[in-house]
Structure 1
Amino acid sequence: MAQQLPLDELSTVIARIQGMLLTEEKVTTAVRLLAQAAKESVPGTIGAGVSLLDSRGRRTSSGYTDKIVEQADAAQYEHGEGPCLTAWAAEEPVLVEDVQSDQRWPEWRNAVRLLPIHSVVSAPLLAGKEAIGALKLYAATPHTYDASSLNLLQLFAAPAATLLSHVQASEAPKKMTEGLQSSLHSRDVVNRACGVLMERLGVPHTAALQQLMKQAREERTTLQNVSESVLAGTPASGD
Structure 2
Amino acid sequence: MPSDLPLDELSTLFARIQGMLLTEESVAHAVDLLAQAIRETIPGAVGAGVSLMDSQGIRTSTGSTDGLVVAADELQYRLGNGPCLEAWAAAAPVRSDDLGTEIRWPGWSGPAAEMGLRSVVSVPLLYKTEILGAIKVYSSLTGAFDGHSEHLLTLFAGPTATLLANVQSTEVPHRASRELKDAIATRDSIAFARGILMERKGVSSDEAMRELILLSRSNGHSLRRVSEQVIMSVRSRERS
Deviations 1:62-85 (A, max 9, x none): 121111101110111111100000
Partner of 1:234: none
Q: Distance in 2 between matches of 1:96 and 1:53?
A: 24
Partner of 2:20: 20
Q: Equivalent residues in 2 for 1:19-168 (5 A)?
A: 19-167=19-167
SS of 1:106's partner is coil
The runs of 5 or more residues in structure 1 that have no matched partner are 174-239
> In percent, how many aligned pairs have the same letter?
54
SS of 2:12's partner is helix
The runs of 5 or more residues in structure 2 that have no matched partner are 172-240
Structure 1 residue 101, shift from structure 2 partner: 2.2
Under a length normalisation based on structure 2, what TM-score does the superposition of the two structures give? 0.67
SS of 1:105's partner is coil
Tell me how large the CA RMSD over aligned residues is. Answer: 1.7
Runs of 4+ aligned residues of structure 1 deviating over 4 Å after TM superposition are none
Q: Distance in 1 between matches of 2:32 and 2:138?
A: 15
Larger radius of gyration: 1
C-alpha contact (below 8 Å) 2:119/2:138 kept by paired residues: yes
C-alpha contact (below 8 Å) 1:46/1:66 kept by paired residues: no
Under a length normalisation based on structure 1, what TM-score does the superposition of the two structures give? 0.67
1:100/1:22 Cα in 2 relative to 1: closer, same or farther (>3 Å)? same
Q: Distance in 1 between matches of 2:110 and 2:117?
A: 12
Letter in 2 for 1:47: G
Structure 1 residue 59, shift from structure 2 partner: 0.8
Q: Distance in 1 between matches of 2:96 and 2:170?
A: 35
Structure 1 residue 25, shift from structure 2 partner: 4.3
Letter in 2 for 1:136: K
Q: Distance in 1 between matches of 2:89 and 2:122?
A: 12
Partner of 2:224: none
> How many residues in Structure 1 have an aligned counterpart in Structure 2?
170
